[in-house]
Structure 1
Amino acid sequence: MGEARAYAALIGGQFRSLMSYRLSFTLEMLSNIGTTALDIVAVVVLFSTTRSVSGFTLTEALLIVSLSSLGFALADVVVGNVDHLRVYVRTGLLDVVLVRPLGTLGQLLSMDLPFRKALRGLLSLVVLVVAVRLNDIDWTPGRVVVLIVTPIAGLVFFGAIFVLTASLAFWWVDSGEIGASFTYGGRDFTSYPMPVFAGWFRAVFAYALGFAFVSYQPALVLLGRDDPLGLPTWAGYLSPVVALVAAAVAAVVWRAGVRQYRSTGS
């Protein structure tokens, strides 16, 4: 209970600090919508020259990209600032965090929550609602659960990717570009139907690393479509399982990194 109050105090203090410059905060929030908007516009532009891509229509693609964008936007707000770990390691700020009687990861996430990115999630939610209405979905209890759970699983999955890639800084401080290729690159990858990709690239990123279960496989369940790639229908229900496995792997790597950390310059 005491830890919860401490984290709440950290987050509250940060929010009050942001509210001291309300105009700047509002402008930052509005400008941050652009990233999510561009993801959606890119899909619309792709379909502007053709009626279908790999057998998927624009409305079906909008469902996929909105599920992906909402999960990523939520993860970016809650966990995204862990990307700054390499800065904390380089400057020695992590040393200060480690001597406090609170969890290391919890402190890092509470120190600089990117509230300015919150509208990304709202935009993604609006697009998801529109996509659901545009597609002729035969609603069943199972599909309702999939619609609710998929963005939460996306939050956990992308959050795990953020933590996992940030943890590389414990061994390699200048690992930022590699991390971004999996976090932001993963967001871009999951915005499209998997048949768009081919060969080893799809096999590795979609299924070996689990990105196909962020939005593509659940979208197939919602749409009542068979998977063109041959996976069974129940694969669309695996998003929470894949997300929890990713979170477990990220937790193991994070703990290993914290244990081996030997202060600035290590």
Structure 2
Amino acid sequence: MAEVLDRTVRAYGLLAWTWVRAAAQYPVSMVLLSLSTAAVGALDLLAITLMFAHAPRIAGFSAMEVVFLYGTSSLSFAVADLAFGTTERLGRHIREGSLDSMLVRPVSPLIQVATEDFSPRRFGKLIPPVAVLVVVLPRLEVSWDAGRVAMVPLMVLCGIAIFSGLWVLTASAHFLLIESHGATKAVTYGGGFLTQYPMSMFARDFVRAVTFVVPLAFVNWQPTLYVLDRPDPLGLPDGLRFAAPVAAMAVCALAAVAWRTGLRHYRSTGS
């Protein structure tokens, strides 16, 4: 198992580095595109700032607390998008028949799709959330202890795993539903946007759905309730605040099964 994982990581790194080297041939363009990507990524933060210009709190949360949600969610989503965002192109490969050529290469088709057109400019998405967390963490009104300090990187890592699993899971839907691009974006990009805000803003049934069906609440909402020492608006057990690793493993396991099942039942276009 460790050997397979090592080969997979090496293959991913090699293919991604090939695309990076190609982009690096035009360094000025690469830097400008990275900065423009960072600027676009900061628009969500601007929207939050404008909301607080008209209200001191949102759903009972202060500006620093909501910005903390934004930072943790955006960082997790940006890393997952960087690693697996291009898997959404699988439907196009199936329609065009180009997936067939991927299947005969000595590298997993998932790795090939995930590293397709890997561009350094996408690293620009990491700049806003990292900068936000550096600024906001010292300003949170939190009694920091070892558990709360450890929870911050843990929630980011679990968020990366959850979003990565969702990318692969929604990509796997293309094996069955060729034209499912819009629906899959609602889960991935929609999930990234949703987790930037307090879940207490939304209807109770909706929050239950993103807790027990599509576990987006474990990206940062449940862990944040622990960090900020807030009660759960739904009255859910406190133990759920520590369930992010379980949710992440469940999503990744489901994504792996869905991907393998899709590949096993895939039928070539014949082109």
TM-score (norm 1): 0.93
Which structure 2 residues correspond to residues 99-138 of structure 1 after superposition, within 5 A?
99-138=104-143
Change over 3 Å in CA distance of 1:214–1:90 after alignment to 2: same
Query: 2: CA distance between counterparts of 1:34 and 1:173?
Result: 33
| Root mean square deviation, CA, Å | 1.9
Partner of 1:166: 171
Q: Distance in 2 between the 1:49 and 1:6 partners?
A: 50
Cα deviations by residue, 1:78-101 (Å, 9 ceiling, x for unpaired) = 111111111211222211110012
Match of 1:252 in 2: 257
Instruction: Please state how far the C-alpha of 1:201 moved relative to its aligned partner.
Output: 2.4
Say whether 1:141 aligns with 2:146.
Answer: yes
Give how far 1:6 is off: 4.3
Q: Give yes or no for contact 2:19–2:119 (8 Å, CA) kept in 1.
A: no
Check the 8 A contact 1:163/1:254 in 2, yes or no: yes
Q: Secondary structure at the match of 2:256?
A: helix
**Is residue 220–residue 227 contact of structure 1 (8 Å, CA) maintained in 2?**
yes
User: How far did residue 2 of structure 1 move?
Assistant: 6.0
* Corresponding residue for residue 29 of structure 2: 24
Which stretch of structure 1 is more off in the superposition, 92-101 or 28-37?
28-37
Compute the displacement of 1:200 (Å). Answer: 2.7
1:165-220 deviation digits (Å, cap 9, x = unpaired): 11111112211111101101111111111110014322212442111111111111
Give 1:60's aligned amino acid: E
Question: Are residues 229 and 161 of structure 1, via their aligned partners in 2, closer, same or farther at CA, if it must alter by over 3 Å?
Answer: same
Q: CA deviation at 1:253?
A: 0.8
Q: Is the 8 A contact 2:38 2:127 kept in 1?
A: no
**Contact 1:167 1:253 survives alignment (8 Å):** yes
Mapped to 1, the partners of 2:270 and 2:74 lie a distance apart of 36
Maintained 8 Å contact 1:150/1:214 = yes
CA contact (8 A) 1:150 1:215 kept: yes
CA 152–176 in structure 1, closer or farther in 2 if over 3 Å, else same? same
The question of 1:61 aligning with 2:32 is answered: no
Maintained 8 Å contact 1:77/1:115: no
* TM-score normalised according to structure 2 size: 0.91
In structure 2, runs of 5+ residues without a counterpart are 1-5
Match of 2:243 in 1: 238
Alignment partner of 1:112: what SS?
coil
Match of 1:204 among 202, 209, 225: 209
Contact 2:23 2:119 in 1 (8 A): no
Partner of 1:183: 188
The alpha-carbon deviation at position 104 of structure 1 amounts to 2.0
CA contact (8 A) 1:92 1:264 kept: yes
Q: Secondary structure at the match of 1:227?
A: coil
Structure 1 pair 49/6, CA: closer, same or farther in 2 (3 Å)?
A: closer
In 2, Cα distance between the equivalents of 1:255 and 1:219? 34
Paired residue secondary structure (1:160):
helix
Unaligned ranges ≥5, structure 1: none
Q: Deviations over 1:23-80 (max 9, x none)?
A: 2222221121134211212222222211112211111111111111110011011111
